[in-house]
Amino acid sequence: MGELKRTRIVNALSSEGIGSEITVMGWVRTKRESKGGFSFIEVNDGSCLTNLQVIAGDQLPNYATEVLKIQTGCSVKVTGSLLASPGKGQNVELKAEKIEVLGWADQEAYPLQKKRHSFEFLRTVAHLRPRTNTFGAVARVRNALSMAVHRFFQDRGFLYVHTPIITGSDCEGAGAMFKVTTLDLAKVPLIDGRPDLRSDFFEGPANLTVSGQLEAEVYALALGDVYTFGPTFRAENSNTPRHLAEFWMVEPEMAFCDLDGNVEIAVAFLKSLFSYVLERCQEDMNFFNRFIDPEIIATLEKLRSQEFRRLTYTEAIEILSKATVSFEFPVTWGSDIQAEHERYLCEKVFAGPAVLTDYPRQIKPFYMKVNPDGKTVRAMDVLLPKIGEIIGGSQREDDYDTLLERMKETGIDPAAYWWYLELRKFGTAPHSGFGLGFERLVQFVTGMANIRDVIPFPRTPGNVTF
Ligand code: ATP
Ligand code: MN
């Protein structure tokens, strides 16, 4: 729409342009009529949370025929002059000289009424929910966070690597995988009663990736510091407020880096993400603080300067076994630390974030480096108050024989990972990395309770509409 040159509302509201003539385009949030032959139209174009108030007077040629009929959801083009607003709640307003309705919205049918809707309802109208305050704010914060991810790594010389979405390997057995096939499911060729994948597209099993880590390791062991940031898929049937079938993951991988270096980067990374959002998304963060979680800004501000307590899994188990509260899951050396334990440590013991390291080898994936004690691996989990684990990572096993032994121990077929093993045969080097679930991050930063509300189009069991 070259001819439709417009001013974004976020710029119009900055009050620098007072007196100038501008054109804005957006969607009507509300409209009310005043007695003196005026209409007040609140227009939002998504560039910021605040609406621009448009004053439309009855001198407009289409006032009676169109302007009076404008309702919530219509899209409009308004040309007028930007004036300092005498009214409360806004600095500027647009005195319309021309209003064009670009698209009508039938009120009977339009699902977004002026009243507040539940998030559950809004999930059923995912094609319209970005027009609400909350989902607009989530989209802008999500955008800022992805920029912050790239900025953090790019500033430090990390290369962005695109790892494949379709994969032949089942990383860590991180979760059930989605199979990829072009076979006609109505007539799958069988061999010994099982699908004969030799005639399938890839002539063998293929899946949607659960993690880009193994491929990122390949690039780290050639280029030094790299990261992936892409979609991952898990066919786990977990209907929780923290799980999606399709989610985005950030996975840096650093060559010549041990666990200490890994912890350092992970903590600096989180702090920089929180700072970025606090600085760049003030209006949206104020909104979340007011309507979603009244402590969110204070929490993020505190985390920017707080020390991340570091302790080993074994030390954590000692603390937990002395706890006076009763946990649902048992606390014994060798069993996994559950979210309830993580939250107890952060909220009750440390009153702040923590990094747990050196977990028992039997509860961690094959690629984590075995410690000299033979019992633990160089794993690290970064824990935050309220949500528990936000980052999981490790120093990777760089010794060929140990890695092979760990594959066998955990039931991974070494033949399928011949290329991964070869990295340890040719110029192996210490290296480390971690994974951050991007939606968990957006959830934490916005305070949104359900992960389905921080991704534009959530994929969950039984739900792939939109
Ligand atoms: P959880 O115990 O919460 O299922 P996990 O141990 O399976 O997590 P990892 O395999 O370590 O998680 O994956 C790395 C990160 O990806 C996690 O820290 C989390 O932030 C995120 N994550 C894992 N599974 C999901 C999911 N189904 N939906 C959204 N994010 C996820
Ligand atoms: Mn999981």
User: Is residue 330 one of the residues assigned to a domain?
Assistant: yes
**Both 158 and 18 in a single domain?**
no
**Both 372 and 417 in a single domain?**
yes
Domain that holds residue 222: 130-174+210-453
**Both 163 and 48 in a single domain?**
no
Q: Is the pLDDT of residue 334 over 90?
A: yes
**Both 69 and 162 in a single domain?**
no
CB 288 within 8 A of CB 446: yes
In the numeric block, which tokens belong to residue 278? 């606090």
**Both 8 and 146 in a single domain?**
no
Mean pLDDT to the nearest integer, 331-339: 94
DSSP SS3 for 393: strand
DSSP-assigned letters across all residues of 21-81: EEEEEEEEEEEEEETTTEEEEEEE-SSSSSPEEEEEETTSTTTTTTGGG--TT-EEEEEEE
Number of domains in the chain: 2
In the numeric block, which tokens belong to residue 141? 């914060």
The rounded distance, in Å, linking the Cα atoms of 12 and 344 is 47
Phi, psi of 370 (to 5 degrees): -75, 135
How far, in Å, from the CA of 210 to the mean position of ligand 2?
A: 10
CB 52 within 8 A of CB 9: yes
CB 442 within 8 A of CB 248: no
Atom of ligand 1 nearest to the CA of 391: 18
End-to-end Cα, the chain, rounded Å: 26
User: Is residue 59 one of the residues assigned to a domain?
Assistant: yes
244 lines ligand 1 (CB under 6 A): yes
User: Is residue 196 one of the residues assigned to a domain?
Assistant: no
pLDDT at 111: 94
243 lines ligand 1 (CB under 6 A): yes
For the ranges 5-19, 132-146, 163-177, the one whose mean pLDDT is highest? 132-146
User: Is residue 221 one of the residues assigned to a domain?
Assistant: yes
Q: Is the pLDDT of residue 87 over 80?
A: no
Contacts of 22 (CB under 8 A, 6+ apart): 6, 7, 12, 79, 80, 81, 82, 94
**Both 299 and 167 in a single domain?**
yes
**Both 81 and 221 in a single domain?**
no
pLDDT at 3: 60
**Both 48 and 88 in a single domain?**
yes
Q: Give the CATH number of the domain where residue 18 resides.
A: 2.40.50.140
Q: What is the pLDDT of residues 3-20, one digit of tens each?
A: 668 999 999 998 788 999
**Both 41 and 148 in a single domain?**
no
**Both 227 and 348 in a single domain?**
yes
Protein residue closest via CA to atom 25 of ligand 1: 243
364 lines ligand 1 (CB under 6 A): no
Residue 14 carries which side chain, given as an amino acid letter? S
Protein residue closest via CA to atom 19 of ligand 1: 437
Q: Is the four-CA dihedral 171, 174, 176, 178 of positive or negative sign?
A: negative
Of 209, 221, 217, 205, nearest in space to 172 by CA:
209
Choosing from 54, 86, 103, the residue where a domain stops is 103
DSSP SS3 for 98: strand
**Both 148 and 261 in a single domain?**
yes
User: Is residue 286 one of the residues assigned to a domain?
Assistant: yes
Q: Give the CATH number of the domain where residue 411 resides.
A: 3.30.930.10
Query: Of 145, 178, 242, 270, which is best to mutate to test ligand 1, by the most ligand atoms within 8 angstroms of its C-beta?
Result: 242
How far, in Å, from the CA of 255 to the mean position of ligand 1?
A: 24
440 lines ligand 1 (CB under 6 A): yes
**Both 96 and 163 in a single domain?**
no
How far, in Å, from the CA of 244 to the mean position of ligand 2?
A: 10
User: Is residue 312 one of the residues assigned to a domain?
Assistant: yes
Q: What is the pLDDT of residues 202-252, one digit of tens each?
A: 999 999 999 999 999 999 999 999 999 999 999 988 889 999 999 999 999
User: Is residue 390 one of the residues assigned to a domain?
Assistant: yes
How far, in Å, from the CA of 437 to the mean position of ligand 1?
A: 6
